[in-house]
Amino acid sequence: MTPNGNPVWSLVLTFGLMSLFAVGGANAAIPEMHRIAVDVRHWMTDREFADIYAISQLSPGPNVLIVTLIGYSVAGITGALAATLAMCVPTAAFAYFVSRWLMQSRRSQWPAIIQASLVPLSIGLMAASALVVAQAADRTWAAVLATIAAAILAATTRLNPLWILLIGGCLGFAGVI
Amino acid sequence: MSLAGFGGVLAFARRGIVEEHRWMTADEFNETYALCHFLPGPNVVNLSVVFGSRFRGVIGGIAAFAGLVGPPMVIVTIVGALYMRYGEVDALRRILAGVTCGAVGLLIAAVFRMMLPLLRRRDIAALAIMMLVFIAIGIARLPLQVVLLAAIPVSIAVTYIMRRGTA
């Protein structure tokens, strides 16, 4: 955890530890990533963080890829690989074993209780993520309106999410937002 | 086993699993999804491993993981490299600002849809816990570990008591 040490190790430590607390997944850990990457370690600015989030959502693939981008910006390709694996592999192995264990212990009520009790936590964390990214981005009233419009569009229609991102990009390019 | 349909954010996964393929109901999805956090870590990655292993055992789990994370990682790294080089170009800045609005909107919509089962059941306790976590992390900006070490036992206790009350 030394600030002057090898940045790859600090990436592995940061995301390895974070993955153990990422109840709700990568999207739920966004506030924590922001706190560490921007406020604690000064790896990037607020705006860069918001940009990286946008890129990770625009790219195909799971949203954990924001970790890949943070890793890349800190320590290049090695950083990208190290950060992604540190975030994924331990918990993926864990998920595999726990899901097997749960299949065998269906009769116990505890797994169901623990699962149900984590639902509100993960929703709360994701809501916090939305707020943190919104605040990190350059805010204008047009942008707030566009965000609300996107939320309504996504909640009420079956439009492919990619279209919503692309429409946002086009509006941005046109200088509306 | 093609996992192409998996590619993407939670909103994609939810749409594919619940709305198109009807592999799970909204409540089942919420609970499996929550399981994939209680095993903390990137949710969609965990989801893919659990799904893959349910269909094809260990190999399925590894295949799902590699299929999900491998190719996108290459793409996103290339995009990231381009951003590092051209990130200050004005047009790109504006596009990304627009995409951010869309992405945050999608996140809000996903939150809303996950809340619906709780709202339908009028699950006040769960909604209160949800709000407290939101305030602690989103507004007070407390560290994740601290909040969860406090919130997880409370939430488990509340859920346990509620279930006993209704049973």
Domain ranges across chain A: 7-138
Distance from CA of B1 to the nearest CA of A (A): 17
Tens of pLDDT, residue by residue over A112-123, are: 777 777 788 888
Q: Do B41 and A62 touch (CB under 8 A)?
A: no
Q: Do B98 and A98 touch (CB under 8 A)?
A: no
Look at the alpha carbons of A141, B106, A88, A65 in this order and tell me if their dihedral is positive or negative. Answer: negative
pLDDT at B25: 62
Tens of pLDDT, residue by residue over B76-134, are: 787 777 777 776 677 777 777 777 887 888 888 888 888 888 888 878 888 888 888 88
| A128-136 mean pLDDT | 80
Residue B9 predicted with pLDDT over 50: no
From chain B residues 16-55, the ones with a CB under 8 A of any chain A CB are 19, 30-46, 48-50, 53-54
DSSP output for chain A: --TTS-HHHHHHHHHHHHHHH-TTHHHHTHHHHHIIIIIIS-SS-HHHHHHHHHHHHHSSS-TTHHHHHHHHHHHHHHHHHHHHHHHHHHHHHHHHHHHHHHHHTTT-SHHHHHHHHHHHHHHHHHHHHHHHHHHHSPP-HHHHHHHHHHHHHHHHS---HHHHHHHHHHHHHTT--
From chain B residues 61-120, the ones with a CB under 8 A of any chain A CB are 61, 65, 68-69, 71-73, 75-77, 79-81, 83-84, 87, 91, 93-115, 118
Does A44 touch chain B if contact means CB atoms closer than 8 Å? no
* Interacting residues of B66 by C-beta distance below 8 A, sequence separation 6+: none
Q: How far apart are CA B46 and CA B28, in angstroms?
A: 16
Distance from CA of A165 to the nearest CA of B (A): 5
Chain A residues within an 8 Å CB radius of B131: 124
pLDDT at B42: 61
Tokens for A54, please give them.
């946008």
Residue B40 predicted with pLDDT over 80: no
The answer to whether the pTM exceeds 0.90 is no
Predicted confidence band at B53 (pLDDT cuts at 50, 70, 90)? low
pLDDT at A1: 42
For testing the chain B interface, which of A19, A64, A67, A100 should be mutated: the one with the most B CBs within 10 Å? A64
Query: What is the ipTM metric for this complex?
Result: 0.76
pLDDT at B10: 54
Q: Which residue of A has its CA nearest to B136?
A: A128
Distance from CA of B34 to the nearest CA of A (A): 5
Higher pLDDT, A155 or B47: A155
Tens of pLDDT, residue by residue over A143-154, are: 887 888 888 888
pLDDT at B8: 42
Does A106 touch chain B if contact means CB atoms closer than 8 Å? no
Tens of pLDDT, residue by residue over A34-71, are: 888 888 888 888 888 888 888 877 776 666 778 888 88
pLDDT at B7: 39
Chain B residues within an 8 Å CB radius of A173: 91, 94-95, 98
| B18-39 mean pLDDT | 61
Distance from CA of A19 to the nearest CA of B (A): 4
Chain B residues within an 8 Å CB radius of A94: 39-41
Tens of pLDDT, residue by residue over A1-22, are: 444 567 788 888 787 778 777 7
